Structure 1
C-alpha cells in the first residue's frame, strides 16, 4: 500500500519502493498537492509557492515540466495515476489511510470522541497513534514562504494533541510517566500556559510541591519579562492552591481545546429593524444558558417571506461570544421543501466536527448519541432552519444546558419542551421604508414619502418582497418610485413583477399549499371568492358544507400555517395577509373559475358557539 508522508521529511512510498525527490521544486510542488489532497490545486498557486510571488515568464511551463517529472518518479514506484490533470490545475488523490496528515486528524477525532464517551484509555491509545505519525518538523527541508503558515498550524495541532493526551493521563493517575516529558515541553514552549499548568499539576501529583512552585515562578518571570503579561487565572489559582497546601481542592482539569465550528451563512447586509424580536431571542438564550440539563430553545415562527432565517442568522452572529465553541446552521429541508431525515442531518452535523465517515454510526439513535457526546462539553448554538414538525427537531437537540437552539418554522404547531416562541410578521411601516431605502437609496425614497409607503404596503411589508422591489429600483435608476407602485398595483401581475428579482412569494406559498390536505386547500382558495376582507366560521361552513367544529378546525390549521390571521377571538374572525389573498385568488381562478360562494351568513349574525 502506498504512503504519502508530510509530517517530517516529505516521502512517498509506493509498491516498488521510495520515490526520490531530486530537487526542492519537486518537494514544493508535491507538498502543495499533498496538503490539498483530493482537491484541485490551480497552476497559479503552484507558481506562487515555488517562486514566492516573483515568478519568471516561463513559470507555468516549468510547473508543467515539474509535474511530468513527478509523474515519472511516481510511476517508477508503482503509482502511475497518482496525479491527474483537472482544470485549472492538478489533483493528487490520496485514498483513506495513505496520507499521514489525514491519519493524524482521524486519530485525533477518534480520541476526542472516546474521551467524550468516558473511554479514557481508548482516547490515550488514539492520541498515541496520532502522535506516532510525526517524524519531525513538517515540511522539513523546504524553504518556502507558502508553507510557513501551514507548518505553524500543523505544529499547533500536534502540540494540542500532546497536551490533550497528557491531560487524560493526569486524570487516570498515570502521573509518574509524564513528568519528565512535561518538564521538557514547558522548557521548549515557555509561553504556553497550559503546559505550565499541566507541569505543576504533575509535579504536585508525585509529591514535588516545591518544584511546582518554582515552575510557577519561572513561568511568571518568562511571561512578564518576554511579553509583558501576568500569568492567567488557571496558573495563578493553581499557584495559590499549592501555597495553601489545599490538597482536597484540586484545580479543575484544563479542558481539551476544541476549534470553534461556524457554518452560519453570511449575515444579511440589509438587515433592518426587528430589534424587539432580536432582544427576545438573545435574552432567552443568554439568560437561561447553563441552567438545568436542557438547552434553552427559541422557536421563530411566521409566514413565508417574513425574514425568519435572516433573523436567526443575525441572532447567531450576535450570540457568538455566548456560544464561542461554534454556531451551526442546518437547513431541515431541501430546495423543494422536502423535509430531510434526521439521520441524514445528524451525519451532516457530525461531519462539521470533522468526524471521519467510517466513525459515523449507521442508526439514528447512535448518531444522536455521538452528536450529543461531541457537543456536551462545548458551548454551541444550533440553528435548525425550516422545521415542519417537532419530531424532526427532537433528535437534533444537544444535551445539557451549555448549548442553545434556534428553530425556525412556518407553522405554530412546532412545540418543544421549554421553548420560547418569537413570532415575526410584516415589518412596521417605517422599518419597511427604511429597508427599501437600504436597497434603492434613502434620498430616492425621500423625494416621494407617500409613494414609498405605498410601495412598502404593496409588498406586504415582508423582507422577501421588499428586497425584490428595492433590487428593481437599484438596478433601474431611471425608474421613479411611483412607476414601480403603478406596476405593483395590478394584482394580477404583482407576483410576476416581484418574482423577477428574487421575491418569489408565489413559489413559497405554492409549497405550503401543496402540503395541505384537499379540504384545507379547498377552503383556502374558496374564501378568497367571498366579499369583504374578513370571514368567520359560518363562512367556512357555507363554502365547504361542513359542521362548525370541522370548519373551525380547518380555519385554525390555516392560521397555524400563517395563511390566515385571527383578527378577533369572540367571535372568531380571520383574514388573509394581502399577498396570501392574491395567491388564494389565483388558486381559485385556476381550480374553480366558474363558482362563486356568496350565500354566506352576514357578519352581523351571531355565530354558533362550540360546546
Structure 2
C-alpha cells in the first residue's frame, strides 16, 4: 500500500514534477517523464501496456516494447525513490499510479477547485467563485505537460486540459466583473483572446469588460474584429448574444443579461446595496426610522480599528476561518452569554502580513460587535513591550472610565475591565503580542466578546478557537498582490520579470509589497531592471527597503529581542540562528546543527525550538529544519558581524565561522563514512585521520543497510552543498575525503554530473596539496562518470590520467582500476575489440592486488565481454575462476552471478549437462539470498537447456516456477511470456 506518512505532490500543469515532503525529485529521462505523465493522466486506473507503449514511443513502439517498457518502469521507480516509487503498481494488463486523494495531483486539485467555483457562481456567490478559481489557476506552472516530448499523448490530452483552463479563466473574468473589478477581468481576457481569436465567448467577455472599464469604443472595435474573423475564416456571423451586446453599447442601453441566466435577478455590486442591506440602516436602527443625532445613555462606542489596505489579496481560507470562529462562537443571547470569548491567534514571522490579515478580518466581523472595537499595539517584538497594566488602563479609558477611577492595583484593573466587558459585545484586536503572559490579563471573562491577536510567537500555552500560522504567500496570491500595487497592465507587460521578482522575494508578503512599491515609485524602471537588482543575493536585503519599510528591519526586531534578552536560551537561539547563515544546503538535521553550533544535541534542540516558536526556522518534518531564503540572507549578514548591504561572512582560519563550517564538514564526512560501512563495505577505504575528529555526542550510527541508504538519499543534496563549501574554503582534507565517501551512492543514484563536480573539487584539492593517490582516485571516479554519461573522450582522458599517476606511484590496485575504467569505457561505447586488451591488462593486476571484490568484478566483466565476442570458452574460464573467490570472500551475490553467468556460457557452447548443473547451483544460491532476479533468470535458462536436451516436459515446471519469481519481481510481461511458452508446448504435446 502507498506510504501515507509522506506528503507526495505530483504535477502535470507545467513540467512534469514530483515533490516528496517538499523535496523536488528530478526525472531527467524524457521517456520516464512520458511514462509517468501517461499514468498520472489516468491516475488510479490501470493503463494497458500497449497503450503506454504507443504513448512512450509516440505511435511507433519497437518490437520489444513490452520488455523495454518494463525496464523503463523499474528505472522510474528507482528515480522516484522508495516512497514515491511505491505508488507505481504493476497491475495486469499494465501499470497504474496510486493516489490517496485529489491533493496529490495538481490536475485533480485544479478540476475540484474549478467545479467548486462553478458551483459558487451558480449560486451567485461571486466572491467564493473568484477565490476558488484563482486557487485553481494558481496551480498552473506553465503549459501542461511542458517537458513531455510525446505528440501522441499531447494530441489526446492537451485539448481537454486547455479547454478546462480557458473555462476557468472565463469564469474568473466574469466573477471579477460581477465583483466590480473590470480592470482585472480586462487584463485576463485580453491575454486569452489574443491566443483564441475565434472564441466568441471570450470576445463577449472582453466587450463587457471594456464597457465596464469605460471603453465602449474599444468594445465596438472588438465586435468588428470578431465579425471579420468569423466571416473571413469560418464563413459564419457572430451569435445573437454578441450582436445584442453590440446593439446595447451602440444605444447606450443596459447590457443584456448573460446568456445562461437571463431570468436571474440583477445583482448589485455597490457596497451596502447587496441582498440584505438597506441604505441608511445600521446596528440598532430600524429600516425606515428617521436618522438623527443618537441619544446615548453610556459612553460612546469605541471604534479603534485601524484602516485596512485597499490592495489586500489572498489568504481567503484564513479569513473565512477566522471570521467564522469570531462570529459563530457568539451565543444567540449575548451579551451576558455563558462561556468563554472566542480567541483567535494569528502567528508568523515579521512581515508575513499578520496585522494586515487581522485588520481585514476585524473589519469584516465588526458589525457583529455593536458595542465597539478596541485596538492596541502591544509592541511585543520590540525591546520594551507594553505592560499588561498599561494596556488595561488604555482599554478602560476607551470604555469610558475616567483616569481618576482606574485602580492602581493591576488585579483590580483586570476586575474592572472584565466587569465593563461582561454586558457588552466588543471585539478586541491585540497586535504584536509578545507571549501568553502578556495576553492573558487582557482576555475578557465572558462569551459576548471576541479576541483577535497577532504574535511572532506561537503562544503555545494559550487555548484558542482558531490558531492560524502565516507563512509565505502562494504564488498566485503573490502575483495578485504585486499586480494590485503596480497595476495589472504593468504586471502583465513583463510576466517573466515579475516571476523573477517574486522568486527573489521568496513570496514573502512584506518583500513583495516593498518590491512593488519601489517599482511604483520609479516609473522609469522596468520590472526587468528591478529583477536584475534583486538577483544578486548579497545585496537583496538592501534593495528591499522603501520609506520606513524594510525586510531587514522587520527581521531585526525579533532578532534583537532574542540577542538582547536576559534569558540564556534566547541568546543561544540567536547564536544558532546566526550560524545557520553559514549553511548552504536545504533541510538540515538536528545533529548537524549541533555540530555547526558546537553544542549538545539537547541544547541545540532547545535553541531550535525557540527559533521555531518565533518562526525563524521551520521544522517541516521531525528533526529536520529549514530557513526561508530571506531569513537566511539576514542570518548571513548577522554572522558577518555587521548589517550592511553586500556583507558576507569572512571565513578565514581562526574565525568562528570557519570553525563552524569545519565542524559541520567533519560531521558530514564521518556520518557518510558510517553509512558507507553498511551500504558499501567492500569499497576502497581512505585514511580519515587527516580530518578533525568529530564530537561523539553528535555522531550518527546506522542499524542496517536500509537505514544507511535512506540517510544517504535524504542528505544527498546537503553532502553536495557541504562539499562545494569546504572546497571553496580550501579545507583540503574534507574537500578530498567527502567526495570519496559519497561516490558510490551518487553512482548508484545516477547523479553523474554531481560525481564529476564533486570529484573535480577533490582533484583540485589533491593537486594543491600534492596528494597524488587522491588525485588518481578522483581521476578514476571522473572517468567512470563520463563513461556512464557516454562522454567517451572525456572518460578516456581521465582514465589515462589516473593510470599515469597510479603507475608513477607503483599503486597496483589503482592501476588495475584505471585499466578497467578504460576497458569499461570502450565496452560502453560498443568498441568490444578495443576493450579486451585493457581488461586483460587489468586482470593480472587484480590478482596481484589480492582484492577479492575487485577481482570478482573484473572476472565477471571480462567474461561477459568474451560472450559478446563469441569466445564462450574463455568466458567459461573467467566465470569458473570467479566462483571460488566469491565463496572465499563470502559474497553470495558474487557467487550466484558467477554460477548464472557460467551456466549461460555453457549453454552457448552446447555443453548442456554442465549448463544445467551450474544453473541449478545458481537457483539454490538465489533462493538462499531470496534474489528473485537470479532465481527467475536461472530457471528460465534451465528450461531452455532442458528443451535443448529433448526433455521439454521437464522444462515446463522450470518455466512455470520462473514465471512466479518474475511475478514477485514485478515483471508480469516476462512471466506471461513464459506461461505462453508452457501453454504452447502442452498444446503441441
**2:568 aligned with 1:522:** no
Q: Distance in 2 between matches of 1:497 and 1:404?
A: 40
Contact kept in structure 2, 1:472 and 1:501, CA below 8 Å = no
Q: How does 1:203-214 map to 2 (within 5 A)?
A: none
Q: Secondary structure at the residue paired with 1:421?
A: strand
**2:619 aligned with 1:566:** yes
Q: Distance in 2 between matches of 1:300 and 1:228?
A: 40
Task: Kindly state the Cα deviation for residue 337 of structure 1 after the two structures are TM-superposed.
Answer: 4.8
Contact kept in structure 1, 2:578 and 2:636, CA below 8 Å = yes
TM-score using structure 2 length: 0.35
Corresponding residue for 2:359?
A: 313
Q: Distance in 2 between matches of 1:391 and 1:352?
A: 23
Give the count of matched residue pairs: 358
- Structure with greater strand share of residues: 1
Which of the residues 407, 422, 442 maps onto 1:396? 442
Corresponding residue for 2:457?
A: 411
Q: Secondary structure at the residue paired with 1:541?
A: helix
Q: Distance in 2 between matches of 1:388 and 1:335?
A: 6
Contact kept in structure 2, 1:388 and 1:414, CA below 8 Å = no
Q: Secondary structure at the residue paired with 1:585?
A: helix
Q: Distance in 2 between matches of 1:529 and 1:553?
A: 20
Which of the residues 477, 480, 484 maps onto 1:434? 480
Corresponding residue for 1:541?
A: 594
Q: How does 1:159-308 map to 2 (within 5 A)?
A: 259-290=300-331, 292-308=338-354
Contact kept in structure 2, 1:465 and 1:503, CA below 8 Å = no
Deviation sequence 1:77-106 (CA, Å, 0-9, x none): xxxxxxxxxxxxxxxxxxxxxxxxxxxxxx
Q: Secondary structure at the residue paired with 2:369?
A: coil
Unpaired runs of 5+ in structure 2? 1-285, 291-295, 332-336, 563-569, 643-648, 652-656, 676-698, 702-989
Task: Kindly state the Cα deviation for residue 449 of structure 1 after the two structures are TM-superposed.
Answer: 1.4
Corresponding residue for 2:650?
A: 593
Q: Secondary structure at the residue paired with 2:366?
A: coil
Task: Kindly state the Cα deviation for residue 568 of structure 1 after the two structures are TM-superposed.
Answer: 2.0
Task: Kindly state the Cα deviation for residue 414 of structure 1 after the two structures are TM-superposed.
Answer: 4.2
Which of the residues 345, 351, 354 maps onto 2:391? 345
Task: Kindly state the Cα deviation for residue 292 of structure 1 after the two structures are TM-superposed.
Answer: 3.8
Contact kept in structure 1, 2:375 and 2:430, CA below 8 Å = yes
**2:628 aligned with 1:553:** no
Task: Kindly state the Cα deviation for residue 508 of structure 1 after the two structures are TM-superposed.
Answer: 2.0
**2:390 aligned with 1:333:** no
Seen in structure 2, the aligned counterparts of structure 1 residues 486 and 341 have a Cα distance that, compared at 3 Å, is same
**2:538 aligned with 1:492:** yes
Q: Secondary structure at the residue paired with 1:436?
A: helix
Corresponding residue for 2:501?
A: 455
Q: Distance in 2 between matches of 1:275 and 1:228?
A: 35
Q: Secondary structure at the residue paired with 1:319?
A: helix
Seen in structure 2, the aligned counterparts of structure 1 residues 490 and 228 have a Cα distance that, compared at 3 Å, is closer
Q: Secondary structure at the residue paired with 1:320?
A: helix
Contact kept in structure 2, 1:468 and 1:502, CA below 8 Å = no
Corresponding residue for 2:222?
A: none
Task: Kindly state the Cα deviation for residue 361 of structure 1 after the two structures are TM-superposed.
Answer: 1.1
Seen in structure 2, the aligned counterparts of structure 1 residues 229 and 585 have a Cα distance that, compared at 3 Å, is closer
Q: Distance in 2 between matches of 1:298 and 1:423?
A: 11
Q: Secondary structure at the residue paired with 1:339?
A: coil
Cα-Cα RMSD: 2.5
Q: Which has the higher contact order (CA 8 A, sep 6+)?
A: 1
Q: Distance in 2 between matches of 1:347 and 1:358?
A: 11
Task: Kindly state the Cα deviation for residue 358 of structure 1 after the two structures are TM-superposed.
Answer: 0.7
Task: Kindly state the Cα deviation for residue 519 of structure 1 after the two structures are TM-superposed.
Answer: 1.7
Q: Secondary structure at the residue paired with 1:386?
A: strand
Seen in structure 2, the aligned counterparts of structure 1 residues 297 and 229 have a Cα distance that, compared at 3 Å, is closer
Deviation sequence 1:530-572 (CA, Å, 0-9, x none): 2312211112211222222222221121111100111222xx2
Q: Secondary structure at the residue paired with 2:573?
A: helix
TM-score using structure 1 length: 0.56
Corresponding residue for 1:247?
A: none
Corresponding residue for 1:18?
A: none
Q: How does 1:498-509 map to 2 (within 5 A)?
A: 498-509=544-555
Deviation sequence 1:478-499 (CA, Å, 0-9, x none): 1111100111112222222111
Which of the residues 486, 490, 503 maps onto 1:444? 490
Corresponding residue for 2:514?
A: 468
Which of the residues 573, 579, 582 maps onto 2:633? 582
Q: Secondary structure at the residue paired with 1:261?
A: coil
